[in-house]
Structure 1
Amino acid sequence: MFASKVVTDKLTDQISFSILASGSSGNATLVETGDQKILIDCGLSGKKMEGLFSQVGRSISDVDAILITHEHSDHIKGLGVLARKYKLPIYANRKTWQAMDSMIGEVANDQKFEFAMETVKDFGSLQVESFGVSHDAAEPMFYIFHNGNKKFVMITDTGYVSDRMKGHIAGADAYLFESNHDVEMLRMGRYPWNVKRRILGDEGHVSNEDAGLAMSEVISDRTKRIYLGHLSKDNNMKDLARMSVTQTLAGEGIIVGEQIELFDTDPEMATSIFTI
């Protein structure tokens, strides 16, 4: 079922990225080096994805690979369309492939690649490390990007951040970090109790306060930016997420604006490309 693709070529130690979209309605991130452009997840329609790429002056035709975190629709909605249109290779672990194969339509076998959990793959100058998270999907995993001594981490869609996860993600230059909900907004909101219980559970999503506590245990002197991701449109607000995380970090002795900067993400507006 799976092809194999190995590329090795080292360039200058930089990683650039844009959080193209992040939220309950769709997720996608672009990571690039001098010789690689990698798309992580494709949770919006093909047309919307093309629009997001244009916002940052990039073209999907230049993408070298798509990496998938898990099979939920807000991460794979446009995957099949874009993979077929642009003939892009797709990487996911075996259980995720089994769960999403029938959801994305016909994709040629030579575009399907396996990326096992807890492994590292080289994409030109970029080394990509996969690690497991706790979410109600077949085998959800996220990614750490290395180029020389530079490190960018993506971690969303997890009910909690375990010590094992913290060991993987510690000491990055920049993070996309889940700050999904305010607990009181969720508890008082319109969602049925079974949905609230799912979000609050160990296989749901991380709250603002828990995100801040996890951040306090993994950031280091080299950490400059944290992007708050996957905010719930019903149970959170950008200002509230930033305030909650800022206060939680302050309680742990980490001052936002001095040691690190927090940045918003949006489900429809890409962040400017930033280079570490």
Structure 2
Amino acid sequence: MSNTDNSPSVWLTTLASGSSGNSSLIGDSEGNNILVDCGISCKRIIESVSELSVLPEQIKGIFVTHEHTDHISGLMMLIKKYKIPVFASLGTLSEITRCKGFDSSYKKLMYKVEPNRPFCIGDFMVNGFNIPHDAAEPLGFTFEKYDVKLSVCTDFGMITDEIKEGLRGSNAMVIEANHDERMLEAGRYPFRLKRRILGDKGHISNENSAKLITGLWNEEVKQIFLGHLSDENNMPELALETVRCELLMEHKDFESYTKVIVANRNTLSERVIIKAEEIAGNKSA
């Protein structure tokens, strides 16, 4: 990352976000980078990070939220080619070992994350917290450095106190806005799949995403990425307007402080860069 004034900073972007694949990248001004999920091919991930002037050897770790294909499809090749450490819950790691292409030699690169027990990697303080989803032991993640907090939380069926507490104080977030309930109910999905998505361990709607974001918002939230939108049961403009309207009802001037965008489905999203001095200045004010 180019940082011409050499100010300490961190940044967040998504490489892909949607039902067909999810991956986010976090970095800092010192060249430390962390991948969250790798649900697109290894080739696409390496091409995407190279657009950000990030080399594979600069990725300090891969954090896996859960074992579903749209979050790990590029994982085995990344491990095989670049030997990048993998961090996930014990349940998720156990499921990964059952995946096609897993080699027992990969186990030495796998590290267990215990929920709500923060630890450091590349000078980032990392915390994983439980999320309700139909996977083995899914987690959301937060990453803190220079008093800046970045968060990734998708694939959850309901808002819990643990999610709210985990995300509280974030300066930039990737938050799921998976579906519009009316589109889902009227759509062509079979009834069983609709029930799964709408269930407590399914995916969160635009409306509930808006409520979560509005409850978390403060003037230090710089950017929110709406992620994991359904291709069948949502539209980017609908998700954005639902969240924007809810925020405006409670925080009329939020747009003076915060940018809300829909993460791109198949390509890099814009990168939010947050300088440490911005956050430190606000906290001391």
TM-score (norm 1): 0.91
Q: Measure, in 2, the Cα distance between the counterparts of 1:214 and 1:176.
A: 12
Q: How many residues end up aligned between the 2 structures?
A: 266
> What's the % identity of the aligned pairs?
34
Aligned mate of 2:17, from 18, 22, 45: 22
Task: Tell me the equivalent position of 1:237.
Answer: 235
Task: Tell me the equivalent position of 2:78.
Answer: 82
Aligned mate of 2:126, from 125, 128, 136: 128
Q: CA RMSD in A?
A: 1.7
After superposition, residues 175-194 of structure 1 pair within 5 angstroms as: 175-194=173-192
- Contact 1:56 1:272 (8 Å CA) reproduced: no
Q: Measure, in 1, the Cα distance between the counterparts of 2:59 and 2:257.
A: 34
- Structure 1 runs of 4+ with >6 Å offset: none
Q: Measure, in 2, the Cα distance between the counterparts of 1:13 and 1:133.
A: 31
Task: Tell me the equivalent position of 1:100.
Answer: 96
SS at match of 1:50: helix
Q: Deviations over 1:56-80 (max 9, x none)?
A: 3323232111111100000000101
Q: Measure, in 2, the Cα distance between the counterparts of 1:132 and 1:252.
A: 27
Offset at 1:25? Answer: 0.5
Q: Measure, in 1, the Cα distance between the counterparts of 2:111 and 2:7.
A: 27
Task: Tell me the equivalent position of 1:150.
Answer: 148
Gaps of 5+ in 2: 1-5, 275-285
Aligned partner of 1:48: which letter?
Answer: R
- Contact 1:56 1:273 (8 Å CA) reproduced: no
After superposition, residues 191-202 of structure 1 pair within 5 angstroms as: 191-202=189-200
Aligned mate of 2:212, from 203, 211, 214: 214
Bigger shift: residues 136-145 or 169-178: 169-178
Is 1:41 the counterpart of 2:4 in the alignment?
Answer: no
Offset at 1:13? Answer: 5.0
Task: Tell me the equivalent position of 1:224.
Answer: 222
Aligned mate of 2:258, from 257, 260, 267: 260
Q: Measure, in 1, the Cα distance between the counterparts of 2:31 and 2:44.
A: 25
- Contact 2:66 2:137 (8 Å CA) reproduced: yes
Q: Deviations over 1:153-201 (max 9, x none)?
A: 1111001121221112112111111111111111111100111111111
Change (3 A) 1:124 1:231: same
Change (3 A) 1:241 1:258: same
- Contact 1:246 1:256 (8 Å CA) reproduced: no
- Contact 1:158 1:204 (8 Å CA) reproduced: yes
Aligned partner of 2:74: which letter?
Answer: G
Q: Deviations over 1:109-153 (max 9, x none)?
A: 321111112211101321111111010000000111101311111
Bigger shift: residues 30-39 or 75-84: 30-39
Q: Measure, in 1, the Cα distance between the counterparts of 2:205 and 2:11.
A: 27
Aligned partner of 2:112: which letter?
Answer: E
Task: Tell me the equivalent position of 2:58.
Answer: 62
Gaps of 5+ in 1: 1-10
TM-score (norm 2): 0.89
Aligned partner of 2:78: which letter?
Answer: L
- Contact 2:220 2:257 (8 Å CA) reproduced: no
Offset at 1:255? Answer: 4.4
